[in-house]
Amino acid sequence: MLNSDAWGLSSSGGPLAEVYDVALVDLDGVARKGHNRIEHATESLNQAHHQGLREVFVTNNAALTPSQVAEQLGTLGIECTPDDVMTAAMACGALLQTKLEPGAKVLVVGGSGLLQAVGDAGFTVIHSTEPNAADQYPDAVAMGYAPTVAWADLAEAAFAVQNGAWFVASNLDKSLPLARGNAPGNGALVGAVQAATGVTPASAGKPSPAMYLLVVSRTGAKNPLVIGDRLDTDLGGARAAGIPGLHVLTGVSSARDAVLAQPEYRPNYIGTDLRTLFETHVAPQEGPDGWWVSNGRAACVSDDGKLELDSQGPNGIDAVRAACAAVWAASDAGIKIDPASVPDFQVS
């Protein structure tokens, strides 16, 4: 596991796919984008799998069952079985078990994945809080994203929470990366219920470390690696769980976001896409003129907090790595970073 005091980029000592035994792979923005492929993702995941890296797809999306997730990934050519999937819905069921007795009534607002997970966790699933409904007055509300969630569903959740039901969210992602752009995620839906009730929900999804720790326990991983595209959820959860994290730039968080990341969201490795699994990552080194990487790309931060890159310009993943090292070191030393000095890196 990771030393929580190690806030900088790491050296892997070999290709990531060979160094780590289990990869905890985020779904949306890493393995796929909506129902579409992400360039190099399918080939890289399958190659790493054939080389012996166990892959478990860990997603904050609670709408689908593990079988449905595996089926969708199969249509993209990614080798996966239901046993290779851990959803926020499953983590939500585990969280409910920490406070509720078996058979307790849970109002589920979400898709088939959450319905199945709550039922599998031993609870009675109900759908209404109408005064004349036989299944009124739930002990808890479990809420997860599904494209079918409507105003009436949010209202039922609000009514139950106002009547004392424990409010539990599968995750709090405000956006969901799809092929056409970022759509409202479960956090946006939960926000409507929270605004109506004034109640903040408990959350089972990332950045809570619960799902990651469940995967480690179930697989017996000795040297796991989190792979994600979101700093605030995927990589924040990795830090919380004490597991090294790889940030790939195929989803929500950009290279600039990584450079400006707070310590609790910083990745240990950063790569353009999943082909980086076959690279040996070397941590940037500090020299007299700033931080540099193996090809000579260098970056430093001036006394007034401005990031300065070498004359080759802000291009390429090595420039990003050097910039991360320079900005993180300066920030940790108490220098206030000027965000305007950090460019939008070109890493394609």
Q: How confident is the model at residue 3 (pLDDT cuts 50, 70, 90)?
A: very low
Q: How far is CA 328 from CA 103, 169, 323, in A?
A: 49, 32, 8
> How many Å apart are CA 39 and CA 61, to the nearest integer?
21
**Active site annotation includes 234:** no
Residue 64's identity, in one-letter code, is: L
Say yes or no to pLDDT of 96 above 60: yes
pLDDT score recorded for residue 4: 41
pLDDT (mean) for 85-101: 94
Backbone angles phi, psi at 126, to 5 degrees: -125, 170
In this model, does residue 63 exceed pLDDT 70? yes
What pLDDT sits at residue 297? 72
pLDDT at 313 over 70: no
Taking the C-alpha atoms of residue 286 and residue 69, their distance in angstroms, rounded to an integer, is 44
Calculated CA dihedral for residues 150, 154, 160, 163, nearest 10 degrees: -140
Pair 164, 177: CB distance under 8 Å:
no
Domain boundaries for CATH 3.40.50.1000 within the chain? 16-60+207-278, 90-203
Mean confidence (pLDDT) of the chain: 92
pLDDT of 135: 57
Answer yes or no: is pLDDT of 222 > 90.
yes
**Per-residue pLDDT reduced to its tens digit, 20-44:** 999 999 998 999 998 899 999 999 9
Residue 141, pLDDT > 80, answer: yes
Question: Is 3.40.1010.10 the CATH classification of the domain at 90-203?
Answer: no
Q: Are 109 and 118 spatial neighbours (Cβ–Cβ below 8 Å)?
A: no
- Average pLDDT score over residue span 183-200: 95
Phi, psi of 327 (to 5 degrees): -70, -45
By percentage, how much of the chain surpasses pLDDT 90? 79
**Bridge-based pairing state of the strands 140-143 and 166-169:** parallel
Output the CA angle 67-68-73, nearest 5 degrees.
100
In angstroms, the CA 144 to CA 124 distance is: 17
Rounded mean pLDDT, 325-338:
96
Closest of 2, 3, 74, 30 to residue 275, by C-alpha: 30
> Which positions ≥6 away from 192 have C-beta within 8 Å?
154
Could you tell me which residue, 314 or 282, shows the higher pLDDT? 282
Contacts with 193 (C-beta within 8 Å, 6 or more apart), sequence order? 141, 143, 154, 157, 158, 161, 167, 199, 201
**262: alpha, beta or left? (left if phi > 0; alpha if psi -120 to 50):** beta
pTM of the model: 0.86
Q: Please compute the mean of the pLDDT values over residues 305-328 and round it to a whole number.
A: 87
Catalytic, 28? Answer yes
Catalytic residue, chosen from 21, 28, 153, 303, is 28
Half-sphere exposure of 89 (CA within 13 A, CB side): 25
Provide mean pLDDT across the span 174-192.
87
8 A C-beta contact, residue 259 and residue 323: yes
3-class secondary structure per residue, the chain? CCCCCCCCCCCCCCEHHHHCCEEEECCECCCEECCEECCCHHHHHHHHHHCCCEEEEEECCCCCCHHHHHHHHHHCCCCCCHHHEEEHHHHHHHHHCCCCCCCCEEEEECCHHHHHHHHHCCCEEECCCCCCCCCCCCCEEEECCCCCCCHHHHHHHHHHHHCCCEEEECCCCCEEEECCEEEECHHHHHHHHHHHHCCCCEECCCCCCHHHHHHHHHHCCCCEEEEECCHHHHHHHHHHHCCCEEEECCCCCCHHHHHCCCHHHCCCEEECCHHHHHCECCCCEEECCEEECCCCCEEEECCCCCEEECCCCCECHHHHHHHHHHHHHHHHCCCCCCHHHCCCCECC
> Which class does domain 16-60+207-278 fall in?
alpha beta
Euclidean distance between CA atoms 142 and 118, whole angstroms: 8
Mean pLDDT of 316-325: 93
Q: Which of 5, 21, 26, 84 is catalytic?
A: 26
